[in-house]
Amino acid sequence: MTFANKFAAGAGAIGLSLFAALPAWAQEAAAPVADAAAPAAFTPTADMVNKGDVAWMLVASALVLMMSVPALALFYGGLVRTKNMLSVLMQVLTIVCVAALVWFSWGYSMAFTSTGTPFPSLFGGLDKAFLSGVDVNTFAATFSNGVYLPEYVFVIFQMTFACITPALIVGAFAERVKFTPLIIFTVLWLTLAYFPIAHMVWYWAGPDFLHAAPTDMGLLWGWGALDFAGGTVVHINAGIAGLVGCLVIGPRLGYSSEPMPPHNLVMTMIGASLLWIGWFGFNAGSGLEANAFGALAFINTLVATAAAGVTWAVIEQIVHKKPSLLGGVSGVVAGLVAITPAAGFAHPGTAIILGAVASLGCFFFVTTVKKKLKYDDSLDVFGIHAVGGIIGAIGTGFVANPAWGGQGWIDYTAPVAKVGEFDLTGQVMTQIWAVGTTVLWTGVVSAVLFLALKYTIGLRPSADVEQQGLDLSEHGERAYNY
């Protein structure tokens, strides 16, 4: 049976199981609301908040924000031609601003609640829209029993992820997209793709609640998919959307027939370096606590990235006899992407292997597959983020294996969370299903949105405008005035 058939059969089975469960849900709804013998509901208190965790998570949030502005903006800006530099900076900056407001308005509620929605395993409702009910006296769960964060801290941290993910997409069709349709796409894509995927992968009741509510979780979390910091939610999600966008919009004028070198690799190097530093907040912060698992994610982020950068340079030395700076920073980003889902699960030794493998895979897609298939993924968003994310997400199933020094998985349905029995084959298959679900969901949503915008208000500027550059035509400014 092909993977597509397996996926369709699995999706059908899930639908049937949900339908079959309706009578049971009805019976539960009809049962008495309270049982005199039932234990009192668990209530987090301020005593369960550690100031060290709060301090670390606020610092981590600032680091992740730095990944968008200025890091990603500089990284992308240096890679485009001079006439489009300012447009890329403006696109990234505005997407971050818009995404933050959308997250406040309805994104947090859609991603991290399970009430007020007809499909609680797919996306949340609007009960916490505009942060309704969230204040300085509400709390968010961590991954430990009896350890909590102020809910505002969790809202802030996850907001920074929602800001950078759509900003990543623009690199796939840089230099040829109009500003207003891009911002409209961002709002719609966050709502229909990012928030549901984030909910499916990361939403759960928390370790003190899940044993009493074992079904209160997102779909992929319920499957047991492991994604420590966003291999599916951020990188595959953005990478696939970028590929769809570059295919719908089409290649740049002169693509493959005239040179389009990066205009400022020094700026790209600065952006890549800031990305690497910020990524420590991205990965180590995803443990939600200042503890040993944060340290594990930190060292894995360091060594996997180093291995990927070295691997790319070695490959270029062998193939081209000259290792390039552009290749070096590409390898670094590939390593950062790949270790993201595995950061809190892998041993540093297997993290190094994962980074090297991802670098090799991304190099092949960026230099060979793209050229053969002739799609214009301007800044290699698909080739690095989607491909690296897929390698990392599936690789997480291997490197999490306790027999290889990994951390396995935690059974949170127990009153006190405990280590679960690890099944290597089963975990890898679960990771593959999670990847497939993410690719299918964001691929369909992205295609519908891009096509709808293309055939209504239009996505692409005129040929004359594109030839002149987007800086002047879209924003009335130049990045450089000589």
* 275-291: pLDDT as tens digits: 999 999 999 999 999 99
* For residue 30, pLDDT beyond 80: no
pLDDT for 11 = 40
Average predicted confidence (pLDDT) for the chain: 92
Work out the average pLDDT over 326-341.
98
Q: Is the pLDDT of residue 27 over 50?
A: no
**Which pLDDT score, from 0 to 100, does residue 57 have?**
98
Residue 247, pLDDT above cutoff 60:
yes
Q: How confident is the model at residue 482 (pLDDT cuts 50, 70, 90)?
A: confident
Which of 18-22, 204-208, 217-221 has the weakest average pLDDT? 18-22
Tell me the HSE value of 238 on the side-chain side, using a 13 A CA sphere: 28
| pTM value surpassing 0.95 | no
At residue 39, the pLDDT reads 57
CA 87 to CA 290: how far, in whole Å? 38
Structure tokens given for 264: 């400022």
| Res 186 pLDDT > 90 | yes
Distance CA 363, CA 313 (A): 10
Span 359-394, pLDDT tens digits: 999 999 999 999 999 999 999 999 999 999 999 999
* Digit-coded pLDDT (tens) for 135-170: 999 999 999 999 999 999 999 999 999 999 999 999
Between helix 151-169 and helix 179-189 the angle, nearest 10°, is 130
Looking at the predicted structure, is the pLDDT value of residue 36 above 50?
Answer: no
pLDDT average, residue stretch 399-428 = 95
Beta bridge partners of 162: none
What are the backbone angles phi and psi of residue 89, rounded to the nearest 5°?
-60, -45
Give mean pLDDT, residues 286-299. Answer: 98
| C-alpha to C-alpha distance for 6 and 225, rounded to whole angstroms | 17
For the record, the structure tokens of 476 come out as 């009335």
- Residue-wise pLDDT tens digits, 54-89: 999 999 999 999 999 999 999 999 999 999 999 999
Tens digit of pLDDT for each residue in 14-25?
Answer: 333 333 333 333
pLDDT at 33 over 70: no
